[in-house]
Structure 1
């Protein structure tokens, strides 16, 4: 509760106001320099489109593991710096240090089922990719290269596609998350493993998932990206943002400059809310946003009030 109170106070702090102003200035700068930025996006896409690693069907599966491996190091480094100790959500937390073999096993177990799907499934074509190209790929049992569009997305398209996919994913995973918490069998077999962290909540808990839950998470994210017809470059950006948000939610630090405080009106959840979910388990089911959880809380209070008056 103290952490939540600190969160509420920090949203109106001078630091947050400064960061919000900087964010607005960054948006205005991007708008004014969009031609130059678009030129760089086009150049980047021309390079990536013909890069052997980016072209392979396994790129996104590998890139998720790569991003997680790098981003998960941030809270581990913060835990070693005394300055950040005051922002810990659990004062006595001693995060375990996974061994190299453990990390390699974890990465392999993550990639194997997804790589198998990458090998045999022809991914839904991206915009501007000819249907003839997709039909030719369907003739092959083994998929090797992705059919990538020739043109890069605009900066605006990338931002909108990433934001829209996050919103859709958040709503989809809320349904899954709420369901496994409400059903005892599903909770025991699918989700309980994620809540089993005796050492406390830390960044590595992000990937403490059963195979079924991991597939649900990945397929939900993929479906969200497909719904918005996300360009491959937008998908790449989505992975970075997505992994970053997930790790921050599980990092165990409630930083005064985190995204949930910079974005106004309490729209985003953040680490403190997700920590509360791991502690109590009966609320805060949305991974990133708050509107569904808030609506459910208000509805629950409304109907509870009616029952009390009967």
Structure 2
């Protein structure tokens, strides 16, 4: 299967469709409200969606699907591989990748600390009354001193009858399409900014660079590298994503939609592929880092620390040029 390499014309229609959907969602939210209300009412019926572990399991499922699809494309489309193009050799041998059965330990290492937090910390979301948050954490309704602030952690009240945080209290009302679009966009922008500084520290601080070295340990970047992380960095990535959602008070449905978008972006920049429909082709020229820029970062490790966009990296280079001048 061959894919076009010039994205200028092939992304015109997707850009138009995406622009119409986002534009109407922001400026005419009433068009989508009935659908969002029914979707939210549907989700609230399921105990699995109300479970405290839902977001962790949802992330693992989405990652497995997205990474597998990118890995298949990487293996079966050598003409898209950035390393093969650079060497002008489509027969360039594939890097050594792990088979699914050998990745169980990696999956458990990823899931274990997140499940631990899910089962011990109370979930707090905008639109949920403090009464429901308190009850979900197994506290008496008259308990005082529990903050409903999204950023203030609160441990579950452990008892023999309720040894773990099993459920999360959810808002009764669905968000508007305007809220969804704005919260998704803003959360990605916040994450892009905070991870830029975290990533810069991973390269510049010796104690952290040793942890980050495992992420750059490869002969050619490929989709599986996305999750080739030290446990400290993996937790940092997840916690920063949560911070980006919490700091703006995202609706739970926003969080649910954030996961596939976030995972897709992460795998895409680590794909080692130059695809006609990459997100960097969909966005206006110069906005997105994309797989090419991130591949350059993995090869040299000296610049392009920003994950999804270019603005912070460009600002850092501008500041460095100013100091040199």
* 42, 45, 70: which one aligns with 1:75: 70
Counterpart check, 1:151 vs 2:202: no
Task: Give the 5 Å matches for 1:136-215.
Answer: 136-138=135-137, 139=139, 140-141=157-158, 142-188=164-210, 190-198=211-219, 200-215=220-235
Q: How many residues align?
A: 291
Cα separation, partners in 2 of 1:32 and 1:216, compared to 1, 3 Å:
closer
Aligned to 2:112: 112
**CA-to-partner distance for each residue in 1:172-219, whole Å, 9 max, x for gaps?**
11111001101222111x200111123x11111000011100110011
Aligned to 1:39: 34
Mapped to 2, the partners of 1:59 and 1:233 lie a distance apart of 12
Write out the 4+ residue segments of structure 1 that deviate beyond 6 Å after TM superposition. Answer: none
Task: Give the 5 Å matches for 1:290-309.
Answer: 290-304=310-324, 306=325
Computed over aligned residues only, the root mean square deviation of the Cα atoms, in angstroms, reads 2.0
TM-score normalised by the chain length of structure 2: 0.84
**CA-to-partner distance for each residue in 1:107-151, whole Å, 9 max, x for gaps?**
11111111011111112x222211122223343322100000101
Secondary structure in 1 aligned to 2:213? helix
Cα separation, partners in 2 of 1:182 and 1:131, compared to 1, 3 Å:
same
Cα separation, partners in 2 of 1:302 and 1:158, compared to 1, 3 Å:
same
Structure 1 segments unaligned to the other structure (5+ residues): 1-6
* 231, 249, 252: which one aligns with 2:251: 231
State which drifts further: 104-113 or 272-281.
104-113
Residue 251 of structure 1 and its aligned partner are, at CA, apart by 0.7
Between structures 1 and 2, the one with greater helix share: 1
**CA-to-partner distance for each residue in 1:247-275, whole Å, 9 max, x for gaps?**
00011101122111221141111000100
Secondary structure in 2 aligned to 1:105? helix
Conservation of the 8 A alpha-carbon contact between 2:25 and 2:31: no
Aligned to 2:299: 279
TM-score normalised by the chain length of structure 1: 0.88
Aligned to 1:85: 78
Structure 2 segments unaligned to the other structure (5+ residues): 85-91, 140-156, 159-163
Mapped to 1, the partners of 2:284 and 2:296 lie a distance apart of 20
Mapped to 2, the partners of 1:76 and 1:15 lie a distance apart of 23
* 54, 61, 70: which one aligns with 1:66: 61
Task: Give the 5 Å matches for 1:44-55.
Answer: 44-55=39-50
Task: Give the 5 Å matches for 1:13-32.
Answer: 13-28=8-23, 30=25
Mapped to 2, the partners of 1:50 and 1:281 lie a distance apart of 47
Cα separation, partners in 2 of 1:167 and 1:32, compared to 1, 3 Å:
closer
